[in-house]
Amino acid sequence: MENKSKKLNIGCAGYKKPGYINLDWQSIVEPDINHDLNTFPYPFQDNSFELVEASHILEHLDRPFEVMKELHRILKPGGRLLIRVPHFSRGMTHPEHSHGLM
């Protein structure tokens, strides 16, 4: 898939960002791209993005290390990856969290 934006917001969950490609698995949030982040590869070419933001999604996914490899693949050399996860003390307090991260 060809992308015009060089920024990706993965797991947007209704928090779509202007100027980004917004990706989520739930079609109800009307993402730009509907894709399950547990399914590899992601629908992007290598070295596609200058910036990837992942806010509170890694703890929901089955294989976070595979996700990190995939994010590395789609980031351009020198690109930035911004990840936010819950504080480790709250890592497993949500029923949909698959992993606690420290």
Classify the C-alpha dihedral 53-55-57-58 as positive or negative.
Answer: positive
Q: In angstroms, rounded to a whole number, what is the distance separating the alpha carbons of residues 85 and 101?
A: 7
Domains, the chain, ordered by start: 7-90 (3.40.50.150)
| pLDDT per position as a tens digit, 6-31 | 999 998 886 899 999 999 999 888 99
| pLDDT per position as a tens digit, 58-78 | 888 999 999 999 999 999 999
Provide the whole-model pTM.
Answer: 0.79
Cβ atoms of 58 and 16 closer than 8 Å: no
